[in-house]
Amino acid sequence: MDIALFETTSPFNWIASARGVLDSATLTAGFQFTEIPTGSYYLGFYHRNSIETWSSAPVSFVSGGISNYDFTTSSLKAYGSNMKQVDDSPIRFAIYNGDVNLDGIIDLNDVLLIYNDANNFITGYTNTDVTGNNLTDLTDLLIAYNNSAGFVGSIYP
Protein backbone atom coordinates (compact mmCIF):
# COMPACT_ATOMS: atom_id res chain seq x y z
CA MET A 1 0.00 0.00 0.00
CA ASP A 2 1.04 3.55 -0.56
CA ILE A 3 0.55 6.78 1.35
CA ALA A 4 1.08 10.15 -0.30
CA LEU A 5 1.30 13.60 1.23
CA PHE A 6 -0.49 16.51 -0.44
CA GLU A 7 -0.48 20.25 0.16
CA THR A 8 -3.46 21.59 2.10
CA THR A 9 -4.43 24.24 -0.43
CA SER A 10 -5.71 23.93 -3.97
CA PRO A 11 -4.50 22.42 -6.26
CA PHE A 12 -3.33 20.04 -3.46
CA ASN A 13 0.04 19.31 -5.04
CA TRP A 14 1.77 16.02 -4.33
CA ILE A 15 4.66 16.36 -1.86
CA ALA A 16 5.97 12.84 -1.25
CA SER A 17 4.91 9.21 -1.09
CA ALA A 18 5.98 6.07 0.71
CA ARG A 19 5.17 2.38 0.53
CA GLY A 20 4.39 0.14 3.49
CA VAL A 21 2.99 -3.27 4.39
CA LEU A 22 -0.10 -3.62 6.57
CA ASP A 23 0.30 -5.88 9.58
CA SER A 24 -2.88 -7.99 9.52
CA ALA A 25 -2.81 -8.50 13.31
CA THR A 26 -2.35 -4.89 14.44
CA LEU A 27 -3.80 -3.17 11.33
CA THR A 28 -0.82 -0.81 11.34
CA ALA A 29 1.80 0.04 8.77
CA GLY A 30 4.93 2.12 8.92
CA PHE A 31 5.76 4.68 6.25
CA GLN A 32 8.95 6.70 6.10
CA PHE A 33 9.04 10.13 4.50
CA THR A 34 12.46 11.60 4.05
CA GLU A 35 13.29 15.23 3.48
CA ILE A 36 9.81 16.68 3.86
CA PRO A 37 9.44 20.06 5.49
CA THR A 38 7.66 20.36 8.83
CA GLY A 39 4.03 21.20 8.18
CA SER A 40 0.52 19.87 7.71
CA TYR A 41 -0.47 17.66 4.80
CA TYR A 42 -3.43 15.64 3.60
CA LEU A 43 -2.75 11.90 3.56
CA GLY A 44 -3.82 9.98 0.46
CA PHE A 45 -4.11 6.20 0.87
CA TYR A 46 -3.80 3.85 -2.12
CA HIS A 47 -3.93 0.10 -2.64
CA ARG A 48 -4.08 -2.20 -5.65
CA ASN A 49 -7.89 -2.33 -5.95
CA SER A 50 -9.16 0.20 -3.43
CA ILE A 51 -10.73 3.59 -3.70
CA GLU A 52 -8.25 6.41 -3.18
CA THR A 53 -8.99 7.65 0.34
CA TRP A 54 -7.76 10.92 1.86
CA SER A 55 -7.55 11.98 5.49
CA SER A 56 -10.47 14.14 6.54
CA ALA A 57 -8.15 16.94 7.65
CA PRO A 58 -4.50 17.79 7.26
CA VAL A 59 -2.08 15.88 9.51
CA SER A 60 0.87 17.61 11.19
CA PHE A 61 4.37 16.34 10.44
CA VAL A 62 7.63 17.34 12.07
CA SER A 63 10.66 16.75 9.88
CA GLY A 64 12.46 13.67 11.19
CA GLY A 65 9.65 12.91 13.67
CA ILE A 66 6.92 10.32 13.94
CA SER A 67 3.25 11.01 13.16
CA ASN A 68 0.33 8.64 13.60
CA TYR A 69 -3.02 8.57 11.84
CA ASP A 70 -5.60 5.83 12.33
CA PHE A 71 -8.17 5.53 9.54
CA THR A 72 -9.90 2.55 11.23
CA THR A 73 -11.59 4.25 14.21
CA SER A 74 -14.22 6.33 12.45
CA SER A 75 -15.55 7.05 8.99
CA LEU A 76 -14.95 10.69 9.89
CA LYS A 77 -11.19 10.00 9.56
CA ALA A 78 -11.65 9.86 5.77
CA TYR A 79 -12.43 12.89 3.64
CA GLY A 80 -16.18 12.84 2.95
CA SER A 81 -16.58 9.95 5.45
CA ASN A 82 -15.71 7.73 2.50
CA MET A 83 -15.24 4.45 4.38
CA LYS A 84 -17.37 1.51 5.42
CA GLN A 85 -17.88 0.02 8.87
CA VAL A 86 -16.59 -3.56 8.78
CA ASP A 87 -16.69 -4.60 12.44
CA ASP A 88 -18.83 -3.87 15.50
CA SER A 89 -16.55 -5.05 18.29
CA PRO A 90 -14.25 -3.27 18.24
CA ILE A 91 -15.75 -0.75 15.86
CA ARG A 92 -13.59 -0.60 12.74
CA PHE A 93 -13.83 1.13 9.42
CA ALA A 94 -12.12 0.26 6.14
CA ILE A 95 -11.59 1.79 2.75
CA TYR A 96 -13.79 0.58 -0.09
CA ASN A 97 -12.32 -1.91 -2.51
CA GLY A 98 -13.28 -3.16 -5.93
CA ASP A 99 -11.79 -0.37 -8.07
CA VAL A 100 -9.67 -2.87 -9.99
CA ASN A 101 -8.89 -0.49 -12.88
CA LEU A 102 -8.06 2.35 -10.43
CA ASP A 103 -10.14 4.99 -12.18
CA GLY A 104 -11.57 6.40 -8.94
CA ILE A 105 -15.01 4.77 -9.09
CA ILE A 106 -16.30 1.25 -8.60
CA ASP A 107 -18.55 0.61 -11.57
CA LEU A 108 -19.58 -1.94 -14.19
CA ASN A 109 -16.11 -1.85 -15.77
CA ASP A 110 -14.61 -3.20 -12.52
CA VAL A 111 -17.38 -5.78 -12.14
CA LEU A 112 -16.78 -7.04 -15.69
CA LEU A 113 -13.02 -7.33 -15.15
CA ILE A 114 -13.63 -9.38 -12.01
CA TYR A 115 -16.28 -11.49 -13.76
CA ASN A 116 -13.91 -12.30 -16.63
CA ASP A 117 -11.08 -13.30 -14.27
CA ALA A 118 -13.44 -15.37 -12.11
CA ASN A 119 -14.71 -17.10 -15.23
CA ASN A 120 -11.09 -17.92 -16.16
CA PHE A 121 -10.21 -19.15 -12.64
CA ILE A 122 -7.45 -16.56 -12.19
CA THR A 123 -5.33 -17.04 -9.07
CA GLY A 124 -2.56 -15.08 -7.40
CA TYR A 125 -1.99 -11.52 -6.29
CA THR A 126 -4.13 -9.72 -8.87
CA ASN A 127 -6.19 -6.53 -8.87
CA THR A 128 -9.36 -8.55 -9.41
CA ASP A 129 -8.81 -10.50 -6.17
CA VAL A 130 -10.72 -8.04 -4.00
CA THR A 131 -10.76 -10.26 -0.89
CA GLY A 132 -7.01 -10.91 -0.93
CA ASN A 133 -7.29 -14.70 -0.83
CA ASN A 134 -5.32 -15.20 -4.09
CA LEU A 135 -8.40 -16.34 -5.98
CA THR A 136 -10.73 -14.24 -8.13
CA ASP A 137 -14.22 -15.65 -7.60
CA LEU A 138 -17.86 -14.81 -6.91
CA THR A 139 -17.01 -13.28 -3.53
CA ASP A 140 -14.86 -10.63 -5.22
CA LEU A 141 -17.57 -10.03 -7.80
CA LEU A 142 -20.24 -9.49 -5.14
CA ILE A 143 -18.13 -6.99 -3.21
CA ALA A 144 -17.47 -4.93 -6.32
CA TYR A 145 -21.07 -5.19 -7.47
CA ASN A 146 -22.43 -4.02 -4.11
CA ASN A 147 -19.98 -1.12 -4.01
CA SER A 148 -20.85 -0.15 -7.59
CA ALA A 149 -24.55 -0.25 -6.74
CA GLY A 150 -23.74 2.17 -3.89
CA PHE A 151 -22.01 4.53 -6.36
CA VAL A 152 -18.74 4.33 -4.41
CA GLY A 153 -16.00 6.61 -5.70
CA SER A 154 -13.06 8.68 -4.53
CA ILE A 155 -13.77 11.83 -2.53
CA TYR A 156 -11.05 14.37 -1.91
CA PRO A 157 -10.72 18.12 -1.60
pLDDT digits (tens, 9 = 90+) for 55-105: 999 999 887 777 888 999 999 999 999 999 999 999 999 999 999 999 999
Whether residues 25 and 69 share a domain: the answer is: yes
Above 90 in pLDDT, residue 30? Answer: no
**Total count of domains within the chain:** 2
Whether residues 76 and 144 share a domain: the answer is: no
**Rounded mean pLDDT, 25-40:** 85
Above 90 in pLDDT, residue 1? Answer: no
pLDDT of residue 27: 78
Report CA torsion sign: 9, 11, 17, 23: positive
User: In this predicted model, what pLDDT tens digit does every residue of 99-119 receive, in sequence order?
Assistant: 999 999 999 999 999 999 999
Above 90 in pLDDT, residue 142? Answer: yes
Whether residues 114 and 144 share a domain: the answer is: yes
In a domain, 125, yes or no: yes
Quickly state the pLDDT bin for 36 (edges 50, 70, 90): confident
pLDDT of residue 24: 80
Whether residues 87 and 115 share a domain: the answer is: no
pLDDT over 90, % of the chain: 76
State which residues form the domain around 126: 108-149
pLDDT of residue 20: 87
Q: Which amino acid is at 80?
A: G
Whether residues 49 and 87 share a domain: the answer is: yes
Whether residues 36 and 65 share a domain: the answer is: yes
**Higher confidence at residue 32 or residue 44?**
44
pLDDT of residue 63: 78
